[in-house]
Amino acid sequence: MPPFGMAIAAQVIPIEALKMLTSRNVRTSLAALIALAGSAAVLSSNASAYQCKGYPTQAVGVHKLRAVAHAKAPKNWAASVKSQFGLSWSVWSIAQARSVTCNKQPGRWICLASARPCNYVVP
């Protein structure tokens, strides 16, 4: 004869094991579950804390050295975005769909920075 208890997924849990679930264990488990749900809510709210433009802004960097042209392009992008939308939109590191592409021209490099400006919105 099987022991008395609760059947879960075709398993039988003995009454002794069920008695071990004291109110303290339940409270601890419930607190952990609430904390986990709270952290998930914070993570999802952080993901929506940025408001981004629906289209990219572009700017170029030109120099005889590729590394310098590559560095100038995002700086010029930030200056352009700042003049169009304001300082809070001009942060390259939080922009979406960032890219810098460079092409060699006779005697110089031309790099194009392109990204969708984003603004941090305090929830």
C-beta of residue 112 within 8 angstroms of C-beta of residue 85: no
Tell me the three state secondary structure of residue 1: coil
Evaluate if pTM is beyond 0.75.
Answer: no
Domain limits, the chain: 5-47, 51-120
DSSP code for 4: S
Q: pLDDT tens digits, residue range 31-74? A: 443 444 444 333 334 456 899 999 999 999 999 999 999 999 99
Pick the CATH number of 51-120 from 3.10.28, 1.10.3470, 1.20.1250, 3.10.450: 3.10.28
